[in-house]
């Protein structure tokens, strides 16, 4: 195989694939913004080896099929090899055959269900051992072990719940009910779910609802008269941005597990938050998905500075084992799994729409996408 070396001062063109419309825009638009912020920072610093990064952006409109079509268009018509994109696991799974067949590199900045390895993906969001394990411990120790699962109806919630069910059972708990709703579910669809939760006598509502219907879940919870101090909603996907969409008073007291919260107190995060707000508005929060979208562009640019080519077979080895001082703390990409070591944190939403961190790992947690055991050692060192 021969490598085509990018010549002269042509810009580096990269694909960007996040929904700006439809039910997923509430979170994917923040990933787009953070991606563009990182690109802007890199360009302001002179680009990569003197060449600007230029994003080629499509809006798949929260439609799974459109992700595959846009990815193909990026690679075949626009000549792009690197794509930053995807939130839902269904969109990632739609893009996978495209990047695998055409040997592209997808940078995926979203927590997901694990149990996947593609040679054409760098995974920068949390695998289950980096969020579900600590969350299950915290919930069973604090609220009880009868969980009701509420999720959106697609691959991530169902697979993520399979993992959570195993974790819960191994701690002596049980799943007392399970409901999946369409990604486009309406507010009225959640009323009956709240009645089922009450009848089941749940201690915790474990939510894998994503996108705009998250707002309806939390509103319906409040309307049904639940108390988050007794029976909280605990989630892996409800971030500061969904909280902003529902109103911070609606989410107060609810629990989320994530590698990153806007409230993390360190210099790097202060700079990230301040730049994000300067560019997108004071009332626009950052969140875990935006942070991963941001730091993965920096990981990419650092690797590109060394390889000076975006050819997947050359740049990918340069990405593996690389690290970066991210807003969440130092992160590194594992050469064994192409997943990223991330921090594990539990946050409780406050009245201001921010998460107060109630637990965190003492160090980054090794990604263990197949839950074979690695990563547990670092998780055990949790700071309470």
For the bound state, the minimum distance from the C-beta of residue 75 to ligand ACM, rounded and expressed in Å, comes to 22
In degrees, rounded to 5, the angle at the alpha carbon of residue 191 between the alpha carbons of residues 247 and 203 is: 80
String marking each residue 31-70 x if it binds ligand ACM according to CB under 6 A: ----------------------------------------
List the end-to-end C-alpha distance of the chain, in Å, as a whole number: 52
User: Encoding tokens for residue 380?
Assistant: 């055990």
How distant, in Å, are the alpha carbons of 98, 207, 273, 371 from that of 114?
20, 17, 28, 8
> Of residues 137-166, which lie at the interface with ligand ACM (CB under 6 A)?
156
For residue 92, the minimal CB distance to ligand ACM (Å) is 7
Closest approach of Cβ 252 to ligand ACM, in Å?
23
Q: Are residues 200 and 175 in contact, defined by beta-carbon separation less than 8 angstroms?
A: no
Residue nearest to ligand ACM (CB): 156
Nearer to ligand ACM, 207 or 231 (CB): 207
| H-helix segments, the chain | 25-44, 64-76, 89-102, 128-142, 155-170, 190-200, 213-223, 240-246, 248-251, 267-280, 288-307, 312-319, 376-380
Q: How far is the CB of 94 from ligand ACM (least distance, A)?
A: 12
Q: Which is nearer to ligand ACM, 134 or 301 (CB)?
A: 134
Size of the site for ligand ACM (CB under 6 A): 8
What span, in angstroms and rounded, lies between the C-alpha atoms of 159 and 217? Answer: 20
Please, what is the minimum distance in Å from the beta carbon of residue 32 to ligand ACM? 16
Query: By C-beta, is 48 or 292 nearer to ligand ACM?
Result: 292
Query: Considering the complex, what minimum distance in angstroms separates the CB of residue 27 from ligand ACM?
Result: 9
Paired strand residues for 365: 342
Residue for token pair 């051992």 = 129
Binding string, residues 329-368; x marks residues near ligand ACM by CB under 6 A:
----------------------------------------
Nearer to ligand ACM, 112 or 276 (CB): 112
Q: x/- contact string, 91-130, with ligand ACM (CB under 6 A)?
A: -------------------xxx------------------
Distance in Å, CB of 272 to ligand ACM, minimum: 22
Pairing of strands 174-181, 146-152: parallel
Q: Tell me if 237 contacts ligand ACM by CB under 6 A.
A: yes
210 binds ligand ACM (CB under 6 A): yes
3 state DSSP class of 45: coil
Decide whether 89 or 231 has the Cβ nearer to ligand ACM: 89
Quote the least distance from Cβ 36 to ligand ACM, whole Å: 21
Alpha carbon separation from 261 to 80, 271, 290 (Å, rounded): 32, 14, 10
3 state SS of 236? coil
Q: Whose CA is closest to 119, among 345, 351, 358, 335?
A: 335
CB of 317 closer than 8 Å to CB of 304: no
Residues of this chain that bind ligand ACM (CB under 6 A): 88-89, 110-112, 156, 210, 237
């Amino acid at each position: 195989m021969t490598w085509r070396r990018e010549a002269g001062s042509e810009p580096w063109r990269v694909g960007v694939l996040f929904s700006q419309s439809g039910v997923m825009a509430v979170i994917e638009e923040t990933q787009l913004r953070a991606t563009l912020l990182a690109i802007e920072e890199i360009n302001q610093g002179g680009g990569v080896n003197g060449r600007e990064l230029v994003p080629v952006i499509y809006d798949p409109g929260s439609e799974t099929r459109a992700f595959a079509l846009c990815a193909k268009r990026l690679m075949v018509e626009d000549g792009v090899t690197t794509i930053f994109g995807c939130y839902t696991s269904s969109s990632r799974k739609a893009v996978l055959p495209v990047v695998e067949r055409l040997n592209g590199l997808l940078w995926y900045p979203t927590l997901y269900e694990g149990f996947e390895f593609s040679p054409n993906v760098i995974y920068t969001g949390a695998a289950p051992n980096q969020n579900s394990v600590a969350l299950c411990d915290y919930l069973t120790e604090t609220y009880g072990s009868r969980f009701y699962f509420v999720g959106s109806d697609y691959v991530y919630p169902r697979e993520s719940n399979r993992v959570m069910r195993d974790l819960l059972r191994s701690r002596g708990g049980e799943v007392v009910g399970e409901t999946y709703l369409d990604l486009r579910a309406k507010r009225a669809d959640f009323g009956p779910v709240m009645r089922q939760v009450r009848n089941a006598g749940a201690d915790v509502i474990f939510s894998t609802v994503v996108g705009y219907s998250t707002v309806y879940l939390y509103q319906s919870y409040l309307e049904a008269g639940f108390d988050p101090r007794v029976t909280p909603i605990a989630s892996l996907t409800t971030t500061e941005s969904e909280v902003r969409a529902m109103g911070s008073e609606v989410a107060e007291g609810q629990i989320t597990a994530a590698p990153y919260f806007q409230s993390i107190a360190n210099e790097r995060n202060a700079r990230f938050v301040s730049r994000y707000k300067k560019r997108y508005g004071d009332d626009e929060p950052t969140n875990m998905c935006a942070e991963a979208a941001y730091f993965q562009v920096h990981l990419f640019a650092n690797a590109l500075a060394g390889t000076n080519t975006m050819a997947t077979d050359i740049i990918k080895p340069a990405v593996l084992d690389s690290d970066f001082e991210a807003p969440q703390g130092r992160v590194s990409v594992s050469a064994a799994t192409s997943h990223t070591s991330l921090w594990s944190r539990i946050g409780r939403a406050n009245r201001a729409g921010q998460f107060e961190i109630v637990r965190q790992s003492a160090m980054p947690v090794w990604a263990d996408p197949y839950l074979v055991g690695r990563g547990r050692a670092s998780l055990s060192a949790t700071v309470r």
